[in-house]
Amino acid sequence: MEEKKIPLKQLVEERLKKLKKLRELGIEPFGYRFERTHKIKEIRERYEKIKAGKKLEKVKVKVAGRIKAIRIHGKASFADLEDENGRIQLFFSLGSLGKKKYSIFKELIDIGDIIGVRGFIFKTQKGELSIWVRDFTLLAKSLRPLPKEWYGLKDVKIRYTQRYLDLLMNRKVRERFILISKLINAMREFLISKGFVEVDTPALQTVYGGAFAKPFETYHNYLKQKMYLRIAPELHLKRLLVGGLEKVFELAKCFRNESVDVSHNPEFLQLELYQAYANYEDTMKLVEEMIYWVAKKIGRAKVEYQGKKINLKPPWKRIPMVKAIKKYGKIDVLSLSDDELKKIAKENEIEKVRRGEIIEALFEKLVQPKLIQPTFITLFPADITPLAKKAKDPRFAERYEGYIGGIEICNGYTELNNPIEQFKRFEEEEELRKRFKELEFMPMDRDFIRALEYGMPPASGVGIGIARIASIFTNTTSIKEVIAFPTVSGKEKILVIPDLIPESRKFG
């Protein structure tokens, strides 16, 4: 028999009545500080092995969390309490709490409420580790009911737009974000151990640069000038190299006014680092060493991604882009004229301007999905890498991208430090901007040129996408799963309780 669905308005009205009753009893439904003595995980780790039926009345605990289930049985009732990293059964009895307090629990407490409890540890005859509640405090009344827990929260749209609900209902999601925090801290720890200095550069810039991307534009009222949210921290980090800092890194929020899909979000976190007196071979070694070290540090030395076992141990495979296209795509791009290359591009539904762009697009379509094991693709076409030094073959730049599981995780190169050459390349980019009216082409940054004119040491840098690395370590196929609040449409009409029930305002 199908369970009858009760309208939300009716459920909320019932909880508002309970809210009113609590206030009439002199109970504040939205409590203040509660001093905990234990987390639930600690209790489980320490007392899980006690015998069934055992009472540890001298082991007094204070715990707090959200009620996830309630089972009422006359003079004795049970509830499941969940905090950040654990769940435990609570036992409420008329004898321990007294008539008034027990009635408050039975009649006015709901699933979803946040409470603090004081009691002792025991294990039921059936072997369930529990807390015998001697007293409890309501810390937050849940006015909106949670989804039915046994169905889980599966709706992707709700999971992304109401991440707080996703976290509440899906423990694995909470664990995922805790792991990501450990991942970021491990990267920071590794780089600091290697002598890198963490820095902070502007997210609000007068000239954007460091990548091919459309920026978000804004306007500074006081300065009366147009400004941009950064698309990358690169050019400011290299200014620091000019200033004498030799190893720098930043965990930088970047913003690109482009598509939203499984591998792109308009706002994203990037680790970008620069090392003086190094080239792209050096930072490739640094990246593979760091990722392997971090994997072991966070307990993910053995990674399985989408059914494939990934071996992160250095050295990673290295292969030039044109050789990869020839090997995996069966196309020798070096032997093709511009017209022949454009013809192949058209056959593959590729619409790009420069020769290098076509080569890169062929690589992305024909090769990238096949790069499952960690691989560095090297020697990119020079015409699409205006901030990097050219290789011995001037058609190519000393640039690489790292791939794991078919996902691009990083982009790095040997930095161009010749101010005259850099000025020419910016001019070429400016000409393309004018001709095609596209903001993706890099603008001229005269202050950066001026900085280079003072002399920047030879250097190499790399940018690493945190969400993409996190996707590998959490075996997820969309970066929306590893970004706490991914960008989604803001057109949804949101109705809150004062909208549904105007008289609820008086309960504030």
Dihedral pair phi/psi, residue 355, rounded to 5°: -55, -45
Q: Tens place of pLDDT for every residue, the chain, 508 residues?
A: 455 678 889 999 999 999 999 999 999 999 999 999 999 999 999 999 999 999 999 999 999 999 999 999 999 999 999 999 899 999 999 999 999 999 999 999 999 999 999 999 999 999 999 999 999 999 999 999 998 754 556 778 889 999 999 999 999 999 999 999 999 999 999 999 999 999 999 999 999 999 999 999 999 999 999 999 999 999 999 999 999 999 999 999 999 999 899 999 999 999 999 999 999 999 999 999 999 999 999 999 889 999 999 999 999 999 999 999 999 999 999 999 999 999 999 999 998 878 999 999 999 999 999 999 999 999 999 999 999 999 999 999 999 999 999 999 999 999 999 999 999 999 999 998 888 877 778 999 999 999 999 999 999 999 999 999 999 999 999 999 999 999 988 778 888 999 989 888 887 6
Fold of 169-316+373-481: BirA Bifunctional Protein; domain 2 (3.30.930)
CA gap 327, 192 in Å, rounded:
39
Widest pairwise Cα distance in the chain: 89
Q: 446-453 and 419-436 are packed helices; what angle lies between their axes, rounded to 10 degrees?
A: 170
What residues does each domain of the chain span?
8-146, 169-316+373-481
Contact 138, 115 (CB under 8 A): yes
- State whether the Cα torsion 310-179-65-13 is positive or negative: negative
DSSP state, residue 147: P
Q: 171-193 and 280-297 are packed helices; what angle lies between their axes, rounded to 10 degrees?
A: 130
CA gap 326, 316 in Å, rounded:
20
- Three-state DSSP class for residue 302: coil
In this chain, the answer to whether the domains covering 8-146 and 169-316+373-481 adopt an identical fold is no
Give the position of tokens 């057109």.
Answer: 491
- The superfamily (CATH) of domain 8-146 is Nucleic acid-binding proteins (2.40.50.140)
Residues linked to residue 217 through DSSP beta bridges, in sequence order: 228
CA gap 389, 415 in Å, rounded:
6
For the question of whether the overall pTM of this predicted structure is more than 0.85, the answer is: yes
CA gap 338, 330 in Å, rounded:
18
